[in-house]
């Protein structure tokens, strides 16, 4: 329960709604609680009428008047002081009952309108809070948490907490109001009968609580199995070519059938438990009604404790009014338990501090000056792999550097450290005079354009994908210009809807090279001070590569550029080439210098020349 305390701030935020909701609950219950009294009154009147007709003594007349609610009493006084006939009075009572039911229903409608709507607002706020926190967390967090887990938090867990802030709270307050009102009038009327009649209700509440716990456990298991089933199906659809080419249809079917069977077994089990749920509830409720009539009837026959047929009628209605709220205790309790478990998970996550923090006192400024990697050693936190060892490199402002090396030599790590996806284990990175750790994170990332190795495009239009980082949507010309610099404009113009073409599952399927160039355009449109391209021409053919390199050269003119690759672009004149091996620099110099050194670069260069004589 203590975990749920963290959502109480939202109750304070929506306190007006909550208070109104409570008021409506009380009003709704008040009007509903008057109906048994009016009904009881009518029954007594009818009985009296019969007795008068058969000339029996009218001993019990007006004996219970003092026990009615003030409003009911006033109503009774009014109709009795009038000259209306007995029949008219009964009809008046019927109309009153109808009006009371309508009033009760109306306020119940308002109560749902305020409390359930409040819970939706809280749900919205909570989702935003979580999403926002997700975005603040660093790459490391995403490495150790699975996407399914993250998705669950923002959908499943939040909706469970909503069951607490909405229905659970509503039912609890409603329960308190119903019990308060009916107990008050029941005890006032006849405390003995009250005690007998209510005795099965606690059993009802406890039974429902236990059955509900079983149902919840089973549903959770079913949910997990369903999720497995969906994953299997999803993977089979997306991997259908692999399945077919390796002739694994039968095996996949067997796998699916097994999962499906397990799911069916559990679902049937749940259906069985649910099948006894309502009958047992009905039984317990029936027991209360039975007790009311039996014991009330006994008192009536023996003229004990002032019980009249009206009293019994009144009590039967009270009992039926109480059973729903009391049975709600059971599932409200398990609802709250589940909400608490979900909120606990949410709290754990919301309390996770991002490892990469922005210096709060730092001011935004234009980035300029040399980039200095000062004795950087970096070990990936969760795998313990040391990707860079005492790495020293100075890149002068405006220099274009080619960073070359085999897969796993640490090239991408350098890019990620520069953008502060991670902080170095040892050493520091300076741009100009400033340690990147002391710069505002946003300021740094806005001015350094990074095209990652694993490209990601959104299921959105080409234009929106390119202008993704821009605070205001840039003009069409600007988008087109960025695409031209990335040598992808011509191909985009060839699409049906050109820049409005949708990318992704329901749009065009782009080639790897096209995707790479669209993400280059995305990086260029920012007009950054520094660009870092991580192996982003790997899927581009030789001719396009030449074209793009020539275009880039124009664009990069006064900018600092780090181009990471595992092959050489002979047409691009780099100021310097740095060769990395096992997280350490092995070669560093101009094209001519490195050719003369006859190392990895020279070897690769000659190899590429013979491969591609163009």
Give the helix ranges, DSSP H, for 164-248. 169-198, 200-238, 240-245
CA separation for the pair 499, 313 (Å, rounded): 75
Question: Measured from the CB of residue 174, what is the shortest distance to ligand ADP in angstroms?
Answer: 52
- Pick the closer one to ligand ADP by CB: 413 or 461: 413
Q: Is 45 helix (H, G, I), strand (E, B) or coil?
A: helix
Q: Considering only residues 83, 361, 383, 610, which one is a binding residue for ligand ADP as defined by CB under 6 A? A: 383
CA separation for the pair 532, 448 (Å, rounded): 7
- Pick the closer one to ligand ADP by CB: 398 or 427: 427
Interacting partner of 385 out of Mg ion, ligand ADP, none (Cβ under 5 to 8 A depending on kind): ligand ADP
Question: Measured from the CB of residue 142, what is the shortest distance to ligand ADP in angstroms?
Answer: 10
Other C-beta atoms closer than 10 Å to the C-beta of 476 total 12
Question: Measured from the CB of residue 402, what is the shortest distance to ligand ADP in angstroms?
Answer: 13
Question: Measured from the CB of residue 407, what is the shortest distance to ligand ADP in angstroms?
Answer: 4
CA separation for the pair 431, 592 (Å, rounded): 28
CA separation for the pair 480, 467 (Å, rounded): 10
Instruction: Report 115-154 residues binding ligand ADP (CB under 6 A).
Output: 143
- Does 424 bind ligand ADP (CB under 6 A)? Our answer is no
Q: Considering only residues 408, 433, 490, 603, which one is a binding residue for ligand ADP as defined by CB under 6 A? A: 408
- Tokens representing 287 are 């027991």
Instruction: Report 183-222 residues binding ligand ADP (CB under 6 A).
Output: none
- Pick the closer one to ligand ADP by CB: 292 or 413: 413
- Pick the closer one to Mg ion by CB: 33 or 451: 451
- Pick the closer one to ligand ADP by CB: 42 or 418: 418
DSSP 125-136: HHHHHHHHHHHH
User: Quick check: 114 and 70 in contact, CB under 8 A?
Assistant: no
Q: Is 403 helix (H, G, I), strand (E, B) or coil?
A: strand
- Does 387 bind ligand ADP (CB under 6 A)? Our answer is yes
Interacting partner of 383 out of Mg ion, ligand ADP, none (Cβ under 5 to 8 A depending on kind): ligand ADP
Question: Measured from the CB of residue 435, what is the shortest distance to ligand ADP in angstroms?
Answer: 22
The contact set with Mg ion (CB under 5 A) reads 412, 453
- Does 563 bind ligand ADP (CB under 6 A)? Our answer is no
Question: Measured from the CB of residue 437, what is the shortest distance to ligand ADP in angstroms?
Answer: 20
User: Quick check: 222 and 270 in contact, CB under 8 A?
Assistant: yes
> Contacts for 547-553 with beta carbons within 8 Å, 24 or more apart?
547/487, 548/486, 548/487, 548/517, 548/520, 551/484, 551/485, 551/486, 551/487, 552/485
CA separation for the pair 225, 251 (Å, rounded): 19
- Does 413 bind ligand ADP (CB under 6 A)? Our answer is yes
Question: Measured from the CB of residue 450, what is the shortest distance to Mg ion in angstroms?
Answer: 12
Q: Which residue has the tokens 């490892």?
A: 355
- Tokens representing 147 are 């996407």
Q: Considering only residues 407, 509, 610, 614, which one is a binding residue for ligand ADP as defined by CB under 6 A? A: 407
Interacting partner of 405 out of ligand ADP, Mg ion, none (Cβ under 5 to 8 A depending on kind): ligand ADP
Q: Considering only residues 21, 405, 424, 513, which one is a binding residue for ligand ADP as defined by CB under 6 A? A: 405
- Does 452 bind ligand ADP (CB under 6 A)? Our answer is no
- Pick the closer one to ligand ADP by CB: 313 or 413: 413
Q: What share of the chain is helix, strand, coil (3-state, %, to 5)?
A: 65, 10, 25
Other C-beta atoms closer than 10 Å to the C-beta of 297 total 13
CA separation for the pair 350, 343 (Å, rounded): 10
CA separation for the pair 610, 599 (Å, rounded): 17
- Pick the closer one to ligand ADP by CB: 464 or 581: 581
- Does 385 bind ligand ADP (CB under 6 A)? Our answer is yes
Question: Measured from the CB of residue 451, what is the shortest distance to Mg ion in angstroms?
Answer: 12
Sites of contact with ligand ADP (CB under 6 A): 143, 380, 383, 385, 387, 405, 407-413
């Amino acid at each position: 329960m203590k975990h749920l305390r963290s959502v109480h701030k939202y109750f304070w935020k929506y306190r007006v709604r909550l208070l109104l909701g409570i008021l409506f609950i009380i009003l709704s219950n008040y009007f509903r609680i008057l109906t048994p009294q009016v009904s009881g009154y009518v029954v007594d009147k009818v009985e009296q009428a019969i007795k008068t007709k058969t000339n029996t003594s009218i001993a019990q007349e007006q004996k219970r008047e003092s026990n009615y609610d003030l409003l009911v009493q006033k109503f009774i006084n009014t109709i009795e002081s009038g000259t209306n006939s007995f029949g008219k009075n009964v009809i008046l009572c019927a109309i009153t009952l109808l009006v009371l039911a309508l009033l009760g229903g109306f306020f119940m409608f308002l109560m749902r309108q305020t409390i359930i709507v409040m819970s939706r607002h809280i749900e919205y706020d909570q989702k935003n809070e979580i999403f926002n926190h997700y975005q603040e967390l660093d790459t490391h967090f995403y490495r150790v948490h699975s996407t399914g887990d993250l998705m669950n938090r923002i959908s499943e867990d939040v909706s469970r907490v909503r069951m607490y802030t909405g229905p659970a709270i509503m039912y609890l307050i409603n329960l308190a109001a119903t019990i308060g009102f009916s107990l008050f009038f029941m005890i006032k009327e006849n405390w003995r009968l009250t005690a007998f009649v209510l005795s099965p209700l606690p059993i009802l509440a406890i039974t429902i609580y236990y059955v509900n716990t079983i149902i919840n456990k089973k549903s959770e298991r079913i949910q997990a199995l369903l999720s497995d089933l969906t994953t299997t199906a999803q993977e089979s659809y997306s991997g259908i070519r692999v399945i077919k080419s390796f002739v694994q249809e039968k095996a996949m079917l067997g796998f699916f059938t097994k999962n499906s069977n397990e799911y069916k077994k559990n679902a049937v089990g749940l259906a069985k438990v649910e099948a006894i749920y309502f009958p047992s509830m009905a039984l317990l409720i029936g027991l209360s009604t039975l007790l009311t009539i039996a014991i009330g009837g006994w008192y009536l026959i023996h003229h004990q404790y002032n019980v009249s047929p009206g009293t019994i009628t009144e009590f039967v209605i009270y009992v039926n009014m109480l059973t729903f709220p009391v049975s709600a205790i059971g599932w409200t309790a398990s609802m709250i338990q589940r909400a608490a478990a979900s909120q606990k998970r949410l709290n754990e996550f919301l309390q996770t501090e991002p490892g990469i923090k922005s210096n709060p006192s730092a001011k935004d400024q234009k980035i300029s000056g040399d980039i200095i990697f000062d004795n950087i050693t970096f070990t990936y936190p969760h795998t313990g792999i040391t990707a860079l060892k005492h790495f020293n490199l100075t890149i002068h402002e405006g220099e274009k550097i080619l960073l070359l090396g085999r897969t796993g030599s640490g090239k991408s790590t350098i890019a990620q450290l520069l953008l502060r996806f991670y902080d170095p284990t040892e050493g520091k990175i300076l741009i100009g005079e400033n340690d990147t750790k002391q710069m505002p994170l946003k300021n740094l990332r806005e001015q350094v354009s990074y095209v990652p190795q694993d490209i990601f495009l959104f299921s959105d239009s080409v234009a929106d994908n390119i202008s993704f980082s821009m605070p205001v949507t840039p003009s069409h010309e600007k988008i087109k210009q960025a695409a031209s610099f990335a040598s992808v404009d011509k191909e985009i113009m060839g699409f049906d809807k050109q820049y409005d073409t949708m990318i992704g599952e329901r749009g065009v399927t782009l080639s790897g090279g096209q995707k790479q160039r669209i993400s280059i355009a995305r990086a260029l449109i920012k007009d950054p001070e520094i660009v870092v391209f991580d192996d982003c021409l790997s899927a581009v053919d030789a001719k396009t590569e030449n074209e793009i390199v020539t275009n880039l050269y124009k664009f990069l003119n006064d900018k600092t550029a780090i181009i990471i690759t595992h092959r050489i672009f002979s047409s691009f004149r780099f100021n310097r080439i740095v060769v990395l091996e096992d997280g350490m620099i092995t070669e560093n110099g101009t094209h001519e210098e490195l050719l003369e050194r006859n190392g990895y670069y020279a070897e690769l260069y000659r190899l590429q020349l013979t491969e591609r004589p163009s």
